[in-house]
Structure 1
């Protein structure tokens, strides 16, 4: 993840782990893998601890994970080495302005990065991943819905979720949006104490996670 106003390295060093580090891919994105909707090469955009990248590599996909946090990238690379996963590579990058991957990726996955982008940078992000995408590439964004982060409180600072229309319009400037549907995002329940009262009544799954509402957006890069 990346956001200029936050110290992401400090966040990735903290215990308990950040709420989005659930020890496995988000279930909505894991389902896409199971359904055969992912094609190599894959960009894991804002990979964090990179369980999504590692799960893909374990199935033979070639995947690149990019994140603003050097701490997260170091941890992800260490896990890949520990598990003997040679098709996953990781690099620190400003996800709103990165280069060196023009036209490479057939699939781009955004696992709850979108809401954490710095204000005003969403079009830079859309442009950067568009440039990195091959013609016909698929884009999947798992994003928080408006209100999911307590952002219905006008006095609450920080990240916010998006309405379906806002998410669609932010992506559709460059990408061809195919579908947006309701989806759940899972969080690490051990981190609930640091999240504040907005999550006090969050649904639990009985496996150490809480659930928050969001959207799964599917889009593609036109062939021409």
Structure 2
């Protein structure tokens, strides 16, 4: 485990009960966040990353949107003909997304809850609904712990087939001290080279990568992020 990729909270030696409390606190934060925005929910524009990825993958692919949140990117992919499975740890987010599929979603759009350690990712991948699969995770890796990241990559290694695509966008180490718009909450800051090496160890070859600003600008915040596309090898 690299020191540089750790969040401030991760640097301390935190007892397991405190780790569980922090995990519960993160889930509570996001449940409250999505609860507060439920009444004003509207089908918003997709992220820049979703539009980018949609042009890079097979138009008949099954997109697995991990950390789907308010599901704006899940709905975007669905509206453009992709089969989509949205996964999130927030019960509120998943319930809201399911409710809005009644008016905004297609037959190929579904949602489920996962904590990354319950086997749901592997189950979704084993029940793939298309020959081509794209694992899509925007602003997710930096919102989970190192241990959860390991669980996710283990699941992708186990469940992905050769040729499957993994698309990540996440905050880098350089973004640690930049202006943030959202309320303070748990974040990690990742080293792209370290993630590339880890993915390589699990048989994922990097096909594209870039790091900088201008990819995820939102109001006064212009996050320093990395984008990467990997392909599962033999």
Provide the C-alpha distance between the structure 1 equivalents of 2:186 and 2:177, rounded to a whole number of angstroms.
10
CA separation in 2, counterparts of 1:16 and 1:70? 12
Count of residues paired in the alignment:
194
5 Å-filtered alignment, 1:77-156, equals 77-99=98-120, 100-103=123-126, 104=128, 106-150=133-177
| Structure ranking higher in helix proportion | 2
Change (3 A) 1:36 1:173: closer
Using the TM superposition, give the Cα deviation of residue 84 of structure 1 relative to its aligned residue in structure 2, in angstroms.
Answer: 4.3
Q: Which runs of 5+ in 2 are unaligned?
A: 1-21, 179-183
Aligned partner (choices 27, 35, 51) of residue 30 of structure 1: 51
Match of 1:58 among 62, 75, 79: 79
Partner Cα separation in structure 2 for residue 134 and residue 39 of structure 1? 16
| 2:199 alignment counterpart | 171
State the distance in 1 between where 2:117 and 2:210 align. Answer: 25
Task: Give the match's secondary structure for 2:174.
Answer: coil
How far apart, CA to CA, are the structure 2 residues paired with 1:168 and 1:22?
34
Q: TM-score w.r.t. structure 2 length? A: 0.72
The structure richer in strand per residue is 1
Structure possessing the higher relative contact order (Cα contacts under 8 Å, 6 or more residues apart)? 1
TM-score w.r.t. the length of structure 1 is 0.75
Distance 1:157 1:113, change over 3 A: closer
RMSD across aligned positions (CA): 2.8
CA contact (8 A) 2:62 2:82 kept: yes
Partner SS for 2:51 = helix
Q: CA deviation at 1:36?
A: 4.9
CA 1:94–1:29: 2 relative to 1, 3 Å = same
Is the 1:176–1:220 contact (alpha carbons within 8 Å) kept by the matching residues of 2?
Answer: yes
**Any idea what the Cα deviations from partners look like across 1:138-160, whole Å, max 9, x if unmatched?**
11100111132438xxxx98312
